[in-house]
Amino acid sequence: MSVTEQYLENEFNKAPLLKRLGLFDWIWAVLVLAGSLVAYNQYSSLMDSYEVGILFGTTAGLVLFGWLWKPMRSFSLVVAAISLSAVALYGTDLSRNETSFFLKFLISSQSAIMWMSALYVMATLAYWFALASGSAFSGRVASALTWSASTMGSVGLMVRWRESYLISHDVGHIPVSNLYEVFILFAIITALLYLHYERRYNNRAMGAFALTVISGAVGFLLWYTFERGAHEIQPLVPALQSYWMKIHVPANFVGYGAFALAAMLGLAYLLVERNPKGLLARRLPSLEQLDDIMYKAIALGFAFFTVATVLGAMWAAEAWGGYWSWDPKETWALIVWLNYAAWLHLRMTKGWRGGPLAWWAIVGLFVTLFAFVGVNMFLSGLHSYGQL
Amino acid sequence: MNLAITLLVAIAIASVIGTVLQQNEPYNNYVMKFGPYWFEVFKSLGLFDIYGAPWFLFLLGFLLVSTSVCVYRNTPSIIKDMRHFRLDVQAKSLRAFRHKDEWAVAAAPADTAADLAKRLKEQGYRLRIKQRDDGVVLAAMKGSVSRLGYLLSHVAIVVICVGGLIDGNLPLKLAEMRGEIQAETRDIPVSQIPPQSMLPADSSSFRGSVNIPEGGRANFLFIGLRDGYLVQKLPFSIELEDFRIEHYSSGMPKSFESTILIHDEDLEEPLRRDIAVNHPLIYKGYAIYQASFSDGGSKLKLKSWSLDMPQQEPLDIDTSVNSQVRLTTPRGDYNLEVSDFKLFNIFPASENDPSGKKFHNYGPSVIYRLRAANGEAREYVNYMTPVMLDGRSFFLSGMRMSQAEDYRFLHVPLDADGGVDRFMAFLAMVRDEARVREKVRRQLTSEMGITQEDPLYEQLTGSIVGLVTTFVNDGVDAIVAQTEKTIQEEKRSDALAYYIKTIQGVLGSFYVDLLRQEGVDISAGVNDSDAAYFDDALNALSQLAPYGAPMYIKLQEFEHIEASGLQITKAPGQNIVYLGCVMLILGVFFMFYLHHRRLWLFISDQENGSMVLFAAAGHRDRSDFDKEFSFLQHDLRRRSGAI
Ligand code: HEM
């Protein structure tokens, strides 16, 4: 990346945030707020005070997020628009997803998620092609595909949320309650994180790596759907019926997503290091930059994972009667956390850089994967929701 | 610092073991899994309660100490680093910096300094200016809070460990080592628990559970320790006034909640509260959680028919879940241990279920064990209401030897007045060998014209009676086995068909007698339903042998009593831990999202203007700092009007 004076100007010569906001920023804020207010007076009767808090916390968070990362604005608005039209098409009749053309083939949660899967896979191919051929165009196509895949995925989750309530009121819940649903969340979050770095370092070669892990997740998702019928919306066991789920799970998946991304960048780093003159070396960011992005991803992941684990403990204290029970999922969260704590120490206090840390980040992905999937597959405990 | 990293990794690895190996199970489960030798080895390593194992606690303690030490060692320098601007730097040491620049400007040092100071303030820098005889020194820094992040996050680790230690069951373990307390392993009423397994009401912290039946009351709870438990007294008592549970159509619990009354002399009247999953009650620092539910000793009225002497009047048994009844039978004494009662049993319905429903409710069931004198037991499940199978109703009773097996079912057909009396009467007839012999004799003469005088008479009688009794006592499989023993391959199927026909002949005529006794009019032959009944009865007959119980038990009436499983904890360390968590989160974000940077401007006088020496140092992530530096470089040069 060339350090132009212009770049430095907007990077560092920053007026305070509020001074930097444009018209769209304010329209965005108003729309988000309006949306939340509508949601509030539609559903406040169903929400406890914490959930109201979460609603407006999310509002503020989303507005700010959109201000700090501009693409978020149009992304969210598109997702909202499509989701709302799906909700409108449904009305109060779930069986519409058989009769209405749009629901059946595009934006019922199940179709939307299938579209997401297809688009992510196409994006992966496009990124690899762009990487191999160096065609800037197919690079842009790949980004576009990734954006639309993430859009469809988010729509899928939003609509699924609604569908769960259409099934019946007591079945309704936010779709982050089992392995199937969080896998979608994982794909989306990882993609968005990547897209953020793609823009910040304006380099698309990293996409080939980031999207590969996402395609892996998609592969699992499809197997899980068709082999196990995991896409069926299941009602919640009592322990999961809590506002905590709305914050604990998403926080966790920012962590998982960031760790996965870091691992793929680690892989890229090792490949470049192995062949410094090769194609990858020419297309990917410099080793130092890769190392730096990897660090940023892990730092982000670690921060959010810390929050998530703490939230988990607080939830456990409320649901199971103890903030720590050495339940397998809990314990594996701790293991993941300790692992990255060690990683950060190596980097920050021992000044490690590059190769060894890249390897460590890749191993870290497997540790994370086990905490995320393995525990549900092989271990039983208080936490055994969404068994395979 | 290697120490810290080693510790973090070591604890991570140790923790893995505890997740792979189920913790704190009854010891004999482990013995079965690993065999006595490895059981002992693992036990001595504390692998069955690893998070309480001395060596694991030692690791944690070590983390605690080393973190404290490291915080203690680092704090002074970090504080200093945050506060001192280092106005006394020498120009030549600034020139040695990695990030530095030098340029001449027209303005006088003082003005330049003032001007640049203003600019840096805009950029969010804190700064000091010092007029030295060799020139003006301007020292600035930004983001020093990130250094605080390090302190916060590490102190947090200590705080969290301390909080956890307060709430952990370490004291119990120590007391146990000192032999002051001892885990109880027998299953005995609380009143008989020996004092060394009792914990006083003033224990500072604990986590235990207790099941209270509706209307019941408890002022104690159980704390699992190793393969046993301890009884923790409470300073107040809890009464379960009401327990409510709702289910989804799949039978999965949707919500369950209890209305409890707290009886405490400090309260002038009992405190009434509802608790549910995720909605505990905190009383005097004791947190009371809705954890689970179970049967609270439902009262059951059972009827028991002896299968060995079906002619006997059935026996009425009044019992309840979790209690035992002694039963004397011709096969010796049996213990009837009722282990559970289910108000309903919901199973997924078959695809082509006429009702079109997704799920089918099989109604109430009772689960009990029949334990013979020699101690071996079979488990039975009996459904109270009849079940329809291709158009005919049966009472189902399942049997299995162990939890691992599936139930094998006995189908007792319902008679005209919806009971089992006809079946028992029929059984009584056919189990009576004398009667069978009598009947066979008569049939031989009447139907085959074979009389006493006939040489074959006795032999035939003997073998037919043999067939019938074998079938009646050991079921059709025994007949098959017999043919396989006595008859060669090719003739077998014919022989078998013939045997069955003979048996049906004999039993059929008993059945006809039975119908006559009941006063059924069979002048026009046996109607379809009675005919069907006969087939079902024979079926049931041959299921009796594997069923293996000396009696058939039917659930007549019940009074459902539920028990609410409460978990009660006292965790004075909890808020300490939460404090630590907040510190940790703040610390981590400070560390990662604020960067400590310092910079110096040394402005020395020179003819018609001054010389600006600019140097900067950033804490960590260089590549970003390079960019920031080159920005400042451009910016300050421009601002000061570099020549
Ligand atoms: C158990 C959880 C721990 C976490 C999450 C953690 C996290 C961190 C992080 C992220 C840093 C970088 C901060 C910076 O460089 O400014 C750091 C630095 C450091 N950690 Fe830890 N740490 C932990 C435990 C420990 C332990 C047990 C020790 C000592 C035995 C320790 C000693 C240090 C030291 C000396 C530094 C360097 C301070 C500095 O760079 O200014 N840490 N720690």
Mean pLDDT by 10 residues, chain B (643 residues): 80 83 75 80 79 81 87 88 84 86 84 86 86 86 86 91 83 80 80 82 84 88 82 89 86 87 89 90 89 88 87 88 87 89 82 71 89 87 88 89 84 87 88 86 81 81 88 86 84 87 88 86 82 88 86 89 89 90 92 85 84 82 76 84 75
Nearest chain A alpha carbon to B566: A321
What is the pLDDT confidence band of residue A6, given thresholds at 50, 70 and 90? Answer: low
The β-bridge partners of B290 are B566
Question: Which of B569, B623, B631 lies at the smallest CB-CB distance from A12?
Answer: B631
pLDDT confidence of residue A380 = 61
Cα separation, A311 vs A317, in Å, equals: 10
B9:A339 CB<8 A:
yes
Q: Which residues of A touch B571 (CB under 8 A)?
A: 317, 322-323
> Which segments of B322-432 does DSSP mark as H helices, in order?
421-431
Kindly state the helix (H) or strand (E) to which residue B182 belongs, with its residue range.
none
pLDDT at A154 over 90: yes
| Contact indicator for A276, A282 with CB cutoff of 8 Å | no
What is the pLDDT confidence band of residue A388, given thresholds at 50, 70 and 90? Answer: very low
Q: Which two tokens stand for residue B308?
A: 């060995």
What residues line ligand 1, using a CB cutoff of 6 Å? A 341, 344-345, 348-349; B 1, 3-4, 7-8, 63, 66-67, 70, 74, 150, 153-154, 157, 591
First to last CA, chain A: 44
Q: Which two tokens stand for residue A205?
A: 């070669």
> Looking at residues A85-91, what average pLDDT do you find?
88
pLDDT confidence of residue B1 = 55
Question: Which of A235, A299, A319 lies at the smallest CB-CB distance from B248?
Answer: A235
pLDDT at A386 over 50: no
**Which atom of ligand 1 is nearest to B73's Cα?**
35
Question: Which of A12, A342, A380 lies at the smallest CB-CB distance from B8?
Answer: A342
A237:B253 CB<8 A:
yes
B51:A326 CB<8 A:
yes
Q: Which two tokens stand for residue A99?
A: 């009769």
A289:B623 CB<8 A:
yes
Q: What is the 3-state secondary structure (H, E, C) of A87-128?
A: HHHHCCCCCHHHHCHHHHHHHCHHHHHHHHHHHHHHHHHHHH
pLDDT confidence of residue B353 = 66
Q: Which residues of A touch B291 (CB under 8 A)?
A: 320-321
Kindly state the helix (H) or strand (E) to which residue B133 belongs, with its residue range.
none
Closest CA to B561 of B367, B412, B343: B343
When scoring A241, A243, A368, A370 by the number of chain B Cβ atoms within 10 A, the one with the most, hence best to mutate, is A241
pLDDT confidence of residue A2 = 45
Average pLDDT across chain A, whole number: 87
B575-580 contact pairs (CB < 8 A, 24+) = B575/B163, B576/B159, B576/B160, B576/B162, B576/B163, B576/B166, B577/A313, B577/A323, B577/B159, B577/B160, B577/B163, B577/B164, B577/B167, B578/A314, B578/B163, B579/B159, B579/B163, B580/B156, B580/B157, B580/B158, B580/B159, B580/B160, B580/B162, B580/B163
| Contact indicator for B643, B103 with CB cutoff of 8 Å | yes
Q: What is the pTM of this model?
A: 0.83
pLDDT confidence of residue A144 = 95
The β-bridge partners of B614 are B101, B601
pLDDT confidence of residue A150 = 96
**Which atom of ligand 1 is nearest to B146's Cα?**
16
A·B CB contacts under 8 A: 138
pLDDT confidence of residue A36 = 94
Whether A342 and chain B come into contact, CB under 8 Å, resolves to yes
pLDDT confidence of residue B354 = 67
Whether A50 and chain B come into contact, CB under 8 Å, resolves to no
pLDDT confidence of residue A234 = 85
A170:B248 CB<8 A:
yes
DSSP states of A246-291: HHHHHHHHHHHHHHHHHHHHHHHHHHHHH-TTSHHHHHSPPHHHHH
Closest CA to B144 of B462, B590, B443, B572: B590
pLDDT at A303 over 50: yes
Kindly state the helix (H) or strand (E) to which residue B22 belongs, with its residue range.
none
Q: Say yes or no: ipTM exceeds 0.90.
A: no
pLDDT confidence of residue B346 = 84
What is the pLDDT confidence band of residue A387, given thresholds at 50, 70 and 90? Answer: very low
